[in-house]
Amino acid sequence: MSEKRVRVRFAPSPTGPLHMGGVRTALYNYLFAKKHGGDFLIRIEDTDQGRFVPGAEDYILEALKWCGIEPNEGVGYGGPHAPYRQSERKPMYRAYAEELVSKGWAYYAFDTPEELDNIRKQAELAKMPNWQYNSISRNTMKNSLTLPADDVQARIANGDAYVVRFKMPRNEEVRFHDIIRGWVVFNTNELDDKVLFKSDGMPTYHLANIVDDHTMEITHVIRGEEWLPSAPLHVMMYRAFEWEAPEFAHLPLILKPDGNGKLSKRDGDRLGFPVFPLNWKDPHTGEQSSGYRERGYFPKAFVNMLLLLGWAPSNNQEIFTMQEMIDTFTIERIGKSGSKFDPEKTKWFNQQYLRATPNLELAEMIQPLLKEKGIEVSNEYAAGVCELMKERAVFIQDLLEGPYLFSAPSTYDADAVAKKWKKGESGALMNEWSNVLDGISEFTSANIEASFKEFITAKGLGMGAVMPLFRICLTGVLTGPASSEVAALIGKEETKKRIATCISVND
Ligand code: GLU
């Protein structure tokens, strides 16, 4: 690794919401930068105006904030290389394209889109599909390599549309090192003469990406595997500019849960889980996609899950704080092959984080949800609810699954009553139990439970016969947290009231 200060970037194109794979790329970049005391910057690559989607940039920035993956430089953060939005850097790219032309590494091409289309069609008819503008075909095209110099000058002076293309050398074997994949070898004959600068005055992704990575002093390019095919061109461009290339690390794909192909943006909610961090509404089609935030995920759980989707620690630790992630992360432990996304494991992570969150913090989180339902309780009471419900909860919303913790049951589960309640008998028993409750001075779950045991033992009855009755009185159903805990939370007076009501309704 070089001695230079580590500088990495996340460089999304604002063409839609950020896919969870994009969040993972940002995370790995962030962790790597922090681990090495370097910089993590965000650059917006918006040179393709045709694919620009309003709202996407804000979405990306908000999603990173939600995840706690904060750049220390870039769009929305400023820094020594501002601006960080490529459309605002537009004036600087032309000179770099010209530099390559003057060095003989690029050329002007005047072929119109119609002419190129025609050639492609003819090639297809001649059973030679995938025609390319390359080191062979460029010799018969309209460009500054084939046209006389004065003709080229005249066309440019005349304002004719042209693009600048990279002049890929013929038949050279080139290799570069990828930290994850090892040596990647390619022959330049496999590559075409990519457009670097477009007729609309905008650079293409390739030119802007390389120029920006160089001028922003990026040391490591950590990005998705889908960019691996572009890397040979990028390596050649660094060579052409005579710039030192950054180190590359191409991350493996995130696969669908069944392992059949890449988990794509188009999967949306189709597979029963979100692929985006936040809700998204497509501004053109109005189509809505759900996000992990709105589904009730903790950002830390989501990020923790993403960490292990492609990277593995040397031990089998699964839960990591952000600091632990920073301390243990290494690019070398990123796998080469795709990782299957596991929606159930994602829920498991959320459950772990929920359980680890102090009740008072959970209480503050459920307060807005309670207000929506018109329920007003103190934070202490809400914390008591969380304590009872958190063992079974996966999401914050699950903490509200016990309506009986907020008000007396208004109905009683008919099956439960039919199965457990013996008319004329159960009422009397519950009445007696209610009187026993008077004698419990400190109304805690442990004391209630101890008295209950004493009560049924004295009566010669079994737990299974009496406990469900108490439960029905308190909650109206047979499932949920322990009755003694529910009773302790709602208090003695309310407990006795519920027993009385239940007897009057069911006995
Ligand atoms: N703009 C590219 C993207 O949308 C960036 C690829 C790269 O990191 O070089 O993913």
Q: For residue 336, report the distance from its CA to the centre of ligand 1, in Å.
A: 19
12 Cβ below 6 A of ligand 1: yes
Query: Which of 160-164, 263-267, 354-358, 404-408 is the least confident region?
Result: 263-267
Q: Tell me how far the alpha carbon of residue 81 lies from the centroid of ligand 1, in angstroms.
A: 18
pLDDT tens column, 16-56:
999 999 999 999 999 999 999 999 999 999 998 888 899 99
The reply to whether ligand 1 has any atom less than 6 angstroms from the CB of 223 is yes
- Residue 3: the pLDDT is 75
Mean pLDDT along residues 242-246: 98
Q: Say what angle helices 445-459 and 463-475 make with each other, to 10 degrees.
A: 130
Structure tokens at 113: 């889109």
Q: Does the CB atom of residue 225 touch ligand 1 within 6 A?
A: no
Give, using CA atoms, the residue closest to atom 10 of ligand 1: 12
pTM over 0.85: yes
Does residue 86's CB lie within 6 angstroms of at least one atom of ligand 1?
no
Average pLDDT rounded to a whole number, residues 498-502: 98
Distance 174 CA to ligand 1 centre (A): 23
Report the pLDDT value the prediction gives residue 410, as an integer from 0 to 100. Answer: 95
Closest of 185, 146, 186 to residue 165, by C-alpha = 146
pLDDT band at 173 (very low <50, low <70, confident <90, very high): very high
Cα–Cα distance measured from residue 351 to residue 282, given in angstroms and rounded to the nearest whole number: 31
Q: What totals of helices (H) and strands (E) does the chain contain, helices first?
A: 18, 14
Instruction: Tell me, in angstroms, the distance from the centre of ligand 1 to residue 209's CA.
Output: 8
Q: What's the CA gap between 276 and 399, in Å, rounded?
A: 24
Q: What pLDDT does residue 50 have?
A: 86
- Residue 390 in 3-state DSSP? coil
Ligand 1 geometric centre to CA of 241 (Å): 20
Ligand 1: which atom is nearest the Cα of residue 213?
9
Distance 499 CA to ligand 1 centre (A): 64
Domains 90-197 and 404-506 share a fold: no
274-310 pLDDT tens trace: 999 999 999 999 999 999 999 999 999 999 999 999 9
Nearest CA to ligand 1 atom 6: 11
For ligand 1, is residue 209 a contact (CB within 6 Å)?
yes
Q: Give yes or no for residue 11 CB within 6 A of ligand 1.
A: yes
**Structure-block tokens of residue 366:** 């459920």
Angle at 265 between CA 326 and CA 319, to 5 degrees: 25
Instruction: Identify the band that residue 468 occupies on the pLDDT scale cut at 50, 70 and 90.
Output: very high
Q: pLDDT category, 187, cuts 50, 70, 90?
A: very high
The C-alpha atoms of residue 474 and residue 484 are separated, in whole angstroms, by 10
Measured between alpha carbons, how far is 28 from 326 in angstroms, rounded to an integer?
Answer: 9
Pick the CATH number of 404-506 from 2.40.160.60, 1.10.10.350, 3.40.50.300, 3.90.950.20: 1.10.10.350
**What's the mean per-residue pLDDT of the chain?**
96
For residue 129, the model assigns a pLDDT of: 86
Kindly name the residue from 256, 265, 300, 390 that is annotated as catalytic.
Answer: 265
Q: Where are the domains of the chain?
A: 90-197, 404-506
Which residue's CA is the nearest one to ligand 1's atom 3? 12
Nearest to 261 by CA among 292, 295, 289, 226: 226
pLDDT at 267: 81
Residue 270 has pLDDT above 90, yes or no: no
Q: For ligand 1, atom 5, which residue shows the shortest CA distance?
A: 11
The mean pLDDT of 395-421, rounded to a whole number, is 96
What confidence tens digit (pLDDT) does each residue in 319-375 have?
A: 999 999 999 999 999 999 999 999 999 999 999 999 999 999 999 999 999 999 999
Active site annotation includes 265: yes
What proportion of the chain, given as a percentage, has pLDDT over 70? Answer: 100
Which secondary-structure segment (H or E) carries 482?
A: none
Question: Ligand 1 pocket, 208 CB below 6 A?
Answer: no
pLDDT, mean of residues 134-156: 97
Fold for 90-197, please state it.
Glutamyl-tRNA Synthetase; domain 3 (3.90.800)
**pLDDT over 90 percentage in the chain:** 96
Q: What is the pLDDT of residues 313-334, one digit of tens each?
A: 999 999 999 999 999 999 999 9
pLDDT band at residue 265 under the 50/70/90 scheme:
confident
